[in-house]
Structure 1
């Protein structure tokens, strides 16, 4: 059965990584995957990674304006050629376009990776964000099934999507996994990291929603003088942050890197002060690499650490002093156990294979 995945692009980011994990673990004896992007790829793309899996990857090559004018006709033509029994979309553009074009004979599944009324407002402002959120939910109500990536989002929606169910995100444990002490030492040497220092790391966008200022200030208040904080990623706040903390030898801004997993494997702890998430890919990747995570106490973070002793590393959102207290309370003698608990969280149900199995069960249910 042909299954078509429709996304804006295959930009190297959390949603694309989740899609990769889904199709990588797809039962090819039952499903034949196709991936269709709406827009041209940028330099930071995982297109070749999908092709290497033997997946037929195509693009409409349309920008946002041309997509509005030509999107329906172009997508209809691809549907006629591919003949999918099920289309799985993700993102407001892909979800909305598929709703407008798909015939009733084709099942549509959509994945919602955020709470629109919080995420869109924080990213685009109250007026535009509210309009986008209402438009997105209006279209999602027409989809056969909406997969929410966390129980936290399900609770926030308060029954607004009756056909919603939770399929939690998962991480590719072939790529993100624990490194032994010998490999960690080699990675630190190659990445030019201090061999003995405690290394903290954050990954992802540097924008107000991620609140990197609280993360950095909390680290500086609670860290030992030899500790290092690696800040990976890019975004609207990067230059401001580099200027603000240029005098600190403990903060290193490394920008976007292709080898995130190596920096994670070479580090000791992960920090996220995020104000809003879906079910954060960055946190799952860090845990898979054995990093205890110091996290803001938003519901999305709490869900990941539910039942784990690592819940003690949650700190009050937006409170850099609370983060500093977490740093001061870290117990070096308990570190090996904390690393084991981090990996155990992923093993308990947050792997990409586990996530993919849930999606495939959903497909079979809808197609039966």
Structure 2
């Protein structure tokens, strides 16, 4: 049996951790002995108990989040020696750096969930972000198999001298299954949006990379033009632009802010259409989750979004990046279209191409080749 150790900063609820959970849920445990090593202390939004319910062994170093070396390296090496894995699979910057530079005797695979030269720069600033992206690339060049979540990220990383395999992020269809009318009505009632005929949703961190204000401005224009239509926009998430977004939405009672939530599924179930206006992504899980639930999407025309809709263009619409007018026009079209075909296309897309069982089998194929 092949022993695989997954190294990740924490098990905080979010896209990369959800992908890891889906992978471990569907990996063949008769072939692979899996365990997790976390670097930092867990916070309130941890999914550690979910992983424990999968009967996965978890070791915790409980280092401070900002720590990279300072005692961490020796603790990491000591713990890994005790586990003695055949393969190390990393997720995230610190895991990639530590494993790439200091664990050379192990076979290593990574899951790169973003394009670091965009994501790190937008998150940490041009100087620090560029340095982090460069270090990440140097570390990943030392891996046996660098894997990324989309063809777009792989293409961009190839221009930086790193060749990556591609395995799309995927969702668990046992959880993200198409709801019936009763569940939709119940969720709308619980979330306070039952009075609206049509619900748009936006889910994500409210930062410049996600361009939430563009979606808000487009919806305001729709709301002003179609006063006879009962429509609303639900924004789920928080971040540095939260106050600015609330100010932009001031005076519009049909723009609702839910803040950060532990489970986004109810909001997607209650939606008629999901909107993502980002200017950079890896392969966004919230988009895949919405499609799995049969919710059509309006997506900014960036590589990962185009890649998702390349599997079935009827599941949504691509619009120009950072364009209020483009999103407004797409909202109008969706509002007046027959959603039955789009809903079926959305759920079929995920079932055939982006479901967790397919993803797990793809990773297993690489593990077998590496072992």
TM-score, reference length from structure 2? 0.95
Q: Distance in 2 between matches of 1:116 and 1:169?
A: 17
Note if 1:151 corresponds to 2:120.
no
Structure 1: segments with no counterpart, 5+ residues: none
Residues 51-130 of structure 1 correspond to what in structure 2 (within 5 A)? 51-104=52-105, 106-130=106-130
SS across alignment from 2:344: helix
Checking the alignment, whether the CA contact within 8 Å between 2:37 and 2:60 is kept in structure 1 is: yes
Q: Which residue of 1 aligns with 2:368?
A: 364
Note if 1:308 corresponds to 2:328.
no
RMSD, aligned CA:
1.5
Checking the alignment, whether the CA contact within 8 Å between 2:158 and 2:164 is kept in structure 1 is: no
The one-character-per-residue Cα deviations of 1:218-252 (angstroms, maximum 9, x if unpaired) are 12212443211110011111122123323111110
Q: Distance in 1 between matches of 2:154 and 2:12?
A: 26
SS across alignment from 1:271: strand
SS across alignment from 2:353: coil
Q: Which residue of 2 aligns with 1:26?
A: 27
Residues 254-265 of structure 1 correspond to what in structure 2 (within 5 A)? 254-265=258-269
Q: Which residue of 2 aligns with 1:266?
A: 270
Note if 1:236 corresponds to 2:240.
yes
SS across alignment from 1:270: strand
Q: Distance in 1 between matches of 2:215 and 2:19?
A: 25
Residues 289-304 of structure 1 correspond to what in structure 2 (within 5 A)? 289-304=293-308
The one-character-per-residue Cα deviations of 1:167-218 (angstroms, maximum 9, x if unpaired) are 1110111121211112111221222222452011111111110000111111
- Structure 1 residues 249 and 55 mapped into 2: Cα distance closer, same or farther (>3 Å)? same
Checking the alignment, whether the CA contact within 8 Å between 1:269 and 1:294 is kept in structure 2 is: yes
Q: Which residue of 2 aligns with 1:340?
A: 344
Q: Which residue of 2 aligns with 1:349?
A: 353
Structure 2: segments with no counterpart, 5+ residues: none
Checking the alignment, whether the CA contact within 8 Å between 1:270 and 1:292 is kept in structure 2 is: yes
Q: Which residue of 2 aligns with 1:275?
A: 279
Q: Point out the more displaced range, 158-167 or 25-34.
A: 158-167
Note if 1:214 corresponds to 2:218.
no
Q: Point out the more displaced range, 275-284 or 92-101.
A: 92-101
How many pairs align? 366
